[in-house]
Every structure is written in structure tokens, then in C-alpha cells.
Chain A
Amino acid sequence: MGLDITWAVDWVRRSAQVISEHRVELITLDREIGDGDHGENMDRGFQAVLPKLDDLAAGSTPGDVLKLVATTLISTVGGAAGPLYGTAYLKAAAAAGGAVSLDGPAISAILTAARDGVVARGKAESGDKTMIDAWTPAVDAAAAAATAGTDAAGVFAAAADAAEAGAVATEPLVARKGRASYLGERSAGHRDPGAESSALLLRAAADTAAAAAGA
């Protein structure tokens, strides 16, 4: 079964909750190799989305929700995460189009578009110790799951698993992009906060999709 507007709103609420719960953890990760504002910025951004969910017009689609998240994050998140996540959600919204319900292949396409948006904006490659190191394994796993005929919830679950593994795998890497790159070799040994928040958001998507499928 496909994922609809109810799921999309649930995902955003769950994302806001998860980011809030991990706010201190993200701040700590970012303080080790960056400027220490990632948790606070992401929390502020998602908290700003919440009241806007209540103003969504009747008949809104998942794509409308993704676009709302995009514009809100771009305007409220002060660090690099604002434009990067904003672009990801914006490209995801475009890929979702006006569809009322999203199936496995649609979810795969949305994740691919989001990842491509982040790459185009931040010009990072795999192995640079950025959120791309969570996104690209997630996109690959989602594509494989969709091709195998897995439903939307299953595609998100595969993506979340791969993103979490990808985030963990950033720990030994030396940063080549972003503020952490100024640290050079000293950035090794710490998990990238952007990869971590990406994994959290995809896990929130998988959990809410599983709940929607079970409902």
C-alpha cells in the first residue's frame, strides 16, 4: 500500500520529535568537528514546521508537505544544513509531484532526487565525510528494494538501515568538505553530524511508514 498525506504529516511530526530528542547528541557531534550548531539549527527548523502543518489546505499531497518542510528549513536553519536539507526536500517534493499516494518505486525516486539535490548544492562526493555518506547507501538500498518489489514501508526500512550504517562508517573518515575539513586529520574518529541527522530522519520515515502500513 502507498504512503499518503497522513503518513507525510506523521513523518514530519516524528522527525521533529526525533531531532529534538537527539538535539544534544547532534550538538556534541558537531562540536567535535564543526561549529556545534547542527542540533540546535535542525531542532529550530523542524519546530518551525510543526505549526504550519495545521494550516495545510484540504486535499494537500505528500509533495506539498515536503515543499513546506523545504521552504521552512531554508528560512530557519542558519547553518549549511538549511540550504542542504532544504534542497533535498525541495527536490523530493518535485519528484513526488501531485501524487496522492507514494509506492515503493516512487519512494525510491524521491530519495534519489533528494540525494542528487544535496550533491548538486554541496558538491560533496562519497567519502568526504558528509551527509552524502548516509544518503548514497540509502538511495542504493532503496533502489534495490524497490526493484525487488518491496512496498513503500519496506523501501524506507532498507534506506534507513543503509543510512545508519553509512553514518557509522563516516567515523574513520577525514573530512574534505564543510567546516570539519579545516580540522584535516583531526576530523577522523568522529561521526559526521549531518550523516547522523540524515539517518535519524530516514529512520523516522521508516517507522511512520511501518505504522501506516500496519494501520
Chain B
Amino acid sequence: MRVGSPGKVGLVFVSHSSDIARGLVSLARQMAPTASLFPAGGTDDGRIGTSFDLVTAGIADADAGEGVVVLCDLGSAILTAETALDFLDDAVRDRVRIVDAPLVEGGVAAAVAAESGDPLDVVVEAAESAWGGRRDDASEGAPSEAQVAGDAAQPIDGDRAASGHTRSIRLVNSDGLHARPAAELVKLASTFAQKVTVNGTDAKSLLGIMSLGLTKGAQVDIASEDPDGREAVDSIAALVESGFGEA
């Protein structure tokens, strides 16, 4: 019998496909080696679909008393998860949250938060942060103006334009911007309402930031076009400059 890691929020990934659920556990496990991550994919007999029994078992496995975050893929996965919650004891149900977030990105972000021992509310926020700005400005499309990779010549510490703020920092971390610092950066960015980009990528997107693949010495361009974005840019710049406490 598997049991949730003591002191940590557990996660259950509910997918119509057992491969997707198990694959997501493997993916998130890279960044969250000790967190409680449980797949609940497919039906009891391995077909495409969702299983009340598997979801119920996943929640029981993931629950170490600190709470459980459940992420789902398509609509009926949510219905199954909600039904499973209906059958839980009140005390357990109170600490189980079904979070509306993109399964993969939200799952990875939540796993990183759970790994670092964050409480339930913060893990929920981490999962929701995976929306980044996408949900609000879905029509906006990908940022194009800032597809300037790290080697573009830009003035260090200069204001980009009258309407925005830019800071450029050299990454000092010897292992580059790997999972933990990337998660810290995203967490910090998510505390600001303003849109901030790092080398053109939404600073609130964990997978986006990680996939920049920034290594030691890389130039990190932190920018916001928002007139009120200075504090966000400066805060993130300070975090990068600090080496995330590990350089």
C-alpha cells in the first residue's frame, strides 16, 4: 500500500488515459522526487475512461493529512472526481481540492510546490498559476515583440521604453535555471497582477520558463510593458541576482 508523504500535500492526476496519468507522474517526479504523486488514469480494466474507484484510491493514497490536490483532463474526469468527493468523509473532503488548471503544466507546478512543503492553498495557487496570462488574453496570441533570445544586445539595467520596464541580469546559478529556481521565479511572478516576460516567455508559465533552458552566464531579460510593472520586474530581477539562494 502506497501512502502519502508525511507533511506534504498529495496530488492525484485524473486522466482518461492511464498512460497520460502515469506519464505525468514521471514528468513531475523529475522536479518533485519525494512528493506524493498518484496517477488515476483510465478505467478499472485499462480502457480509456475514468474510474471512480481509481480516483477514490488515489485520493486515499495521496492523503497524508495535509490535503490533496486533484487535477483532471476532460469534462467527465471532473464529474468522476466530484462524485468521488461526494463519497468521502466530511473531514477528508474538506482538505481535497479539485483544481481547474491545465493538467500537465498545472500538475508540474503543483508538484514542485508540494515538493517544497507548501500548504494546500499555495499548492492550489501553483496549479492555477499554470494558466499564466493565457486565460485572460487568449486572443492575444504568443508574445512576438520579445522573441529576442538571451544573446540579443540590450542595455543592461535600462528602461526599455516610456511605457515599460526591463532589467537584464546574468544568471549566476551554476546549474542554470533548473526546476527549483524556475518554480520560485514563477511563484514570485504569479504574485503580481502585471504581465512580465523572461526572454520573451510569460514569467507565470513554469514549463515556459524551464524550457528556456537558461544556463550559467546566460542573459536574463526581465520585462513588462505594463506601466505598473516596475515592482514586478525589480522583484524578479532581485531574485535572479541573488542566485536563488544557491549560487
Contact = CB atoms under 8 A, between A and B. Distances in A.
Nearest to B53: A75
A76 B75 CA distance: 18
Contacts of A179: 74-76
Contacts, number: 51
Interface in B57-103: 74-76, 79-80, 82-83, 86
A74 B49 CA distance: 12
Nearest to A87: B83
Nearest to A122: B79
B49 A79 contact: yes
Given A79-B76, A179-B75, A121 B53 contact: no
A141 interface: no
B134 interface: no
A87 B48 CA distance: 21
A178 B75 contact: yes
Contact of B43 (A35, A78, A87): A78
B43 to A, nearest CB: 4
B75 A82 contact: no
A177 B86 CA distance: 22
Contacts of B53: 75
A153 to B, nearest CB: 31
Contacts of B52: 74-75, 82-83, 86
A83 B49 contact: no
B51 A78 contact: yes
Contact of B76 (A74, A75, A76, A83): A83
A192 interface: no
Q: Is the interface of A mostly helix, strand, loop or mixed?
A: helix
Interface size class of A (residues with CB under 8 A): 10 to 19
B50 interface: yes
Interface string B28-44: 00000000000000111
A122 B51 CA distance: 17
A83 B79 CA distance: 6
A41 B161 CA distance: 59
Contact of B80 (A82, A177, A178): A82
The 9 A-B pairs at the shortest CB distance, nearest first, are namely: A78-B49, A80-B76, A78-B43, A83-B83, A83-B79, A74-B52, A83-B80, A75-B52, A80-B79
Interface of B: 42-44, 47-53, 74-76, 79-80, 82-83, 86
22 contacts: A37-B48, A37-B49, A74-B83, A75-B44, A75-B52, A75-B53, A76-B44, A78-B47, A78-B49, A78-B50, A79-B49, A80-B76, A82-B79, A83-B52, A83-B80, A83-B82, A87-B86, A121-B79, A122-B79, A177-B75, A179-B74, A179-B76
Given A80-B79, A86-B83, A87-B86, 18 more contacts: A74-B83, A75-B44, A75-B53, A76-B44, A78-B43, A78-B47, A78-B49, A79-B76, A83-B80, A83-B82, A84-B79, A87-B83, A121-B83, A122-B79, A177-B75, A179-B74, A179-B75, A179-B76
